[in-house]
Structures are given as structure tokens and as C-alpha cells.
Amino acid sequence: MSQEETSAPGNFIRDAIEEDLRNGRFTEVHTRFPPEPNGYLHIGHAKALTIDFGMAETFGGKCNLRFDDTNPVKEDVEFVDAIKEDIHWLGFDWDDREYYASDYFGQLYEFAVRLIKKGRAYVDDLSADQIREYRGTLTEPGKDSPWRNRSVEENLALFERMKKGEFPEGACVLRAKIDMASPNINMRDPVMYRIIHNPLHHRTGSTWCIYPMYDFAHGQSDSIEGITHSLCDLAYEDHRPLYEWFIKELEIFPTRQIEFARLNLTYTILSKRYLKQLVDHGHVRGWDDPRMPTLCGMRRRGFSASAVRNFITQIGVAKNENLIDIALLEFLVREDLNKTALRVMGVLNPVKVVITNYPEGQTEFLEAVNNPEDPSAGTRPVEFSRELFIDQDDFREEPPPKYFRLAPGKEVRLRYGYIIKCVDYIKDPHTGEVTEIHCTYDPETRGGYAPDGRKVQGTIHWVSAGSAIDAEIRMYDRLFSVPDPNKPEEGKTYLDYLNPDSLTVLQHCKLEAGLENAKPGTRYQFERKGFFTVDLDSTPAKPVFNLTVPLRDSWAKIESGQKAGK
């Protein structure tokens, strides 16, 4: 990955780091990416980790990978492995610096004891609901817990008993002793430790039954690792005073926290809780469903890592929240795949064409370009025969104005092939659907050019019926039908805006021979249709392709405009 790619985003962050280096606050740059192993990474995490790893690379520093595994109720090694795979997919690596907050449970416990001894932490017997009630509101101060002024000795003894598992879950917590009247609600004696007996921790097993809260574990883990710059989203801006309070009270390495605006994307939900609901309730097929904004979902859909990184670079890093148009991401995916994807022909809604003046039983092979953007990709032979398949959309019984595809009495050019003319067609007497089109071909127009100079405006794609393979094509669209499902109308939830047409499965599509052996993850451009990727479900016996992004269809735009004008 080039320095230009990674250093472009985040001028204000880069400026702050440069100032820290100039004034001697730090002599090196050491960042970290701290995911919670309770879900899969999504495009918003891609922004965060690109900034974390990118800033370190820009300044010749280091970036740690640290899993914030402080809540065994929600964590699983499945997520740990998936997160590492996603980071590597984006092109980043943490070398030998893979850490876990659980690595520091002993040290964090000692930090908590130190605060108790200073009179800056206490064991509280209030329930979770009572703590919430005592905390007050944004406009009203909180009130002290009746257990706030326990002696240091009593707090040390109670905290030790919490550690030994003598209390049930919810019986008590350890809280920092700060200021219940603080205008910043995060400073009103936040909880530092809670009791969790089950499930057991995925790394430490039954060693611990008390676990530090994020606000306590995060900053102290940064300090233990010598992190110079803790880069996080704006949701933690109000937590920064607490972050700095712990550092000051513990007199430990003073990591600097800098916040940036999180990524918000149109037609997309990035709340991990909502994404989990989509999976758990069957609205999508899993975390890697190609409609999901997860990195594994995008990868399965066919998005390239370079396009995702380029997207993060393009949007930059802001201090204020904004909503980014997903069309930019789709454009960059299309732009990237246009350079690299091999071209093939695929007919999604096939109708048979019979070339009546082409010899029966004869076949020939025409030369097709693999990628006009990359001459080194070469060419391939494609079979041509008397019977072909074309897309139903490429034929009209009664063509409207500006329709330059196949129609009765009209000529059209077959991609890489001949000029053909429709002379007849057959319809199903019950449905009225065209089932077969009869054409003649001009044998002098091989390659699509007419020696007599006549101009044929339309070019359509096709496949030979004799060698075409059947395939399942999954046509994906945006998961939500409104630009901002995060802001539902009164009485509705984000689920009310799920797009019922976000997935359409097409069976018995006709593709060029040979594609049945394409490996999952391989990307192609189906000429005139879009970019498609071989799905993980694909087998030689039943090839499956995902629509990654469509091409722009000029006729569809014209037809849509005509309908809108009626």
C-alpha cells in the first residue's frame, strides 16, 4: 500500500500528530485498532482501521491490533478470526502486535485497587436501575449513592470478594468516585467493574468473574501499550474527560485521544445491534450476505479491497457528522473492476434466436476481447452457431422511438459476431410471451462490420445455445428503500424501510461455456449488464454469480424518463 493512499485522509489528525512530534509531547507515533470481538467489521470500521493503520504508516510508526474482550456475554472466537481476516483483506498487518484487553486483566485489577486506596473508587450495592436513577439527567445533577462513602478498607475487602466470586451477578459494582453533579454525565461516578459468572471468557475461562467496563479498560490498555494517539469516533468525545481522569489519577503514560466523525452511508445501517437483528431475525442470510455493509458481505458481493480503501481516502476525515452517498462507493467499485475484470457474455433473461440461413450443425469460433482496458488480457474464442440466446430486453415487437435493439424487420449487430435481421417470431398462445425469434444473418459482416457501409446502431450480447451453461444469478440492490433508515418516521423503525426487492434470484440464465469452473471470488463483467462475482455457493454443477454493481443502462434511463413524462 502506498503512502499516498494511506496519508491522504485526515488532515486535522495528521496536523495534530505533527504538532505533538514538533513540541516533544511524543517522539514516535504508535496507534491501535481496538475492535470488540462481538460482531463482524463493517464499512464504518474500515474507515477507523484505515485511519489507525494509515496514520502509523504515514509517520513511520506502529499500529497494534487489540481486541477489547471485556464482555464474555457477547464475544466469540469466530469474531476474532473474522476481524483478522478482514483487516488482512484490506491490506493492513499488525506484525507481532496482536493483543487483548484480557492480557491486562491483572494489571487493570491492580489499577482499580490503586484508585480504591486513593479514595477514588468504591463498591456500590445499588442495582443497575438504581444507578441509572441516581445518575440524574442532562439537565439535573445526580445524587450520591448511600454506599459512596464506604471506607477504603471496606471497599478493598468488598472488591476482593467480588474477584473471588462471592457475590452473584448484579449484587454490586465498582465505581469511580468523581463528581455526581458534573455537567458531563460520563463523569458521574461511572461503573468500572461488574460481575459476570457466565458464560466463561473465551480466553481466560473461569479465572475472572469481574470484568472492566470499556471506559476503564480502553484507556488503561492504551497506556500499558504505550499508544501515543488513541484515534476514535465522535461518540467518545464526551468520554475524553474520563479517559484523561483515569490517566491522571493513576499517573500512567498519557495517551492522547483524538476524535473524528464516524462514517454514515446512505441506504445503510451501521449499528452493530441493528445488523445483528437483521441476521438473527432472518432478514438477511447471514453476516456475509452481499447486501450487508460488513466487509465480509462486501467481499462476497465482489467489492475489491482497493475500491474500499479508495472510498475511505476519497471521503477523508471530518470533525462533523455527515451522510455519504453510497453511489460514490459503487462508482469506485465500478471504476476499479472496469480495469481488472475479464469480459464475458451472459444472458440473464434468455429468449432463443434461430439464424434460419445459418447451416444446421455448423459452429465457428469468433474472437472476443477479454478486457479492452488491459491489452495484456488477450482474447478468447466464443462459439457461434445457428441457435443463440439473447436477453428478452433486447427484443421489442413494437419498438418505441430511440430503441436500437432487435425488432421485426430491424437489424442489430451481435457482439464480436455478425449483423442479423429479425424476420419472424413465435409467441406462446397462452401468455403472449415471445418464445423464439427467427433471424437471418449477413455472412459478409463477421466481426460486426458491413462491407457495403450500411450503419447498424445497435449491438447486443448473446451466447451460443449449444455450449451455454445454466447459472443462478443473484441480483442485489440496496437493502433499504430510503436514503437514511436511521431516521424513521414516527411510529416506524428502520425495519419498515427494508427494500423488498433487495434480492432477486434468476434461474436458468445462460452464460459462456467455461464459467462453470470459475473459482468463488472471481470477478467478471457481463457485457452490457454489470460486474458479477462467483459466489461461495457456486459449484461446477450449479454456478452461482452475484451482481456486484450494474453498468449504466442508457435505454433503461430513456424508458424510465418516458414513463415519468406520461
DSSP state string for 530-552: EEEEE-TT--SSS-EEEEEEEPP
The CB density around residue 321, as the number of other CB atoms within 10 Å, is 12
Cα separation, 237 vs 215, in Å, equals 12
Joined together, the cell numbers standing for residue 131 give 444507578
Cα separation, 251 vs 246, in Å, equals 8
Length of the chain: 566
Catalogue the E-assigned strands of 477-522: 503-511
Joined together, the cell numbers standing for residue 494 give 428502520
Closest Cα partner for 257 from 265, 245, 268, 272? 245
Choose the catalytic residue: 262, 276, 415, 478: 262
Joined together, the cell numbers standing for residue 286 give 447471514
Joined together, the cell numbers standing for residue 565 give 413524462
Cα separation, 350 vs 142, in Å, equals 69
Q: Collect all residues with Cβ–Cβ distance below 8 Å to 238 and sequence separation of at least 6.
A: 184, 185, 186
Choose the catalytic residue: 66, 150, 177, 272: 272
Place of cell 497494534: 64
Radius of gyration, CA atoms only, the chain: 31
Q: Answer positive or negative: Cα dihedral of 477, 479, 482, 484.
A: negative
* Helix, strand, or coil (residue 559): helix
The CB density around residue 207, as the number of other CB atoms within 10 Å, is 11
* Helix, strand, or coil (residue 122): strand
Joined together, the cell numbers standing for residue 184 give 458531563
Q: Collect all residues with Cβ–Cβ distance below 8 Å to 161 and sequence separation of at least 6.
A: 167
By CB neighbour count within 10 A (0-12 exposed, 13-18 middle, 19+ buried), where does 387 fall? middle
Q: Collect all residues with Cβ–Cβ distance below 8 Å to 210 and sequence separation of at least 6.
A: 109, 162, 163, 174, 193, 194, 195, 196
Strands 98-100 and 62-67: parallel
Cα separation, 368 vs 370, in Å, equals 6
Catalogue the E-assigned strands of 207-299: 210-212, 229-233, 256-260
Report DSSP state, residue 495. G
Closest Cα partner for 34 from 222, 179, 166? 222
Choose the catalytic residue: 5, 36, 330, 383: 36
Joined together, the cell numbers standing for residue 156 give 478493598
Catalogue the E-assigned strands of 216-360: 229-233, 256-260, 342-344, 346-347, 350-355
In contact, 295 and 86? CB cutoff 8 Å: yes
Active site residue 272: yes
Q: Collect all residues with Cβ–Cβ distance below 8 Å to 24 and sequence separation of at least 6.
A: none
Chain-centre distance of CA 176, in angstroms?
37
- Alpha helices in 471-545, H assignment, sequence order: none
Which residues belong to the active site? 36, 262, 272
